[in-house]
Structure 1
Amino acid sequence: MSSSDSSINTGIHADPYAASSIQDFLARFNKKLNSLVEVLQGEQEVLIKGTADEISQATQDKFACMQLLSDFIANYFNNTSDNTNINLEQSLKMMNVICVEKNIQAWNESQELIQFCRELSDENSILLANRLKSTNSALDTLYSLTGTQQTKTYDDSGHSNHSRVSRQLASV
Structure 2
Amino acid sequence: MSTRFLTVPGLAGSGPQHWQTIWETQHPDSFSRIEQDSWDWPNRLLWVARLQEIISHLTEPAILVAHSLGCITVAHWAAEFSSPFIEGALLVAPADAELSKRLNFVEGFTPIPLQPISFKSIVVASTNDIYASIRRSKFFADAWGSEFINLGKKGHINAVSGLEDWPEGKTILNQLVSSELAGI
Provide the TM-score with structure 1 as the length reference. Answer: 0.29
Select the structure that is richer in strand. Answer: 2
Select the structure that is richer in helix. Answer: 1
**Structure of greater Rg:** 1
Provide the TM-score with structure 2 as the length reference. Answer: 0.27
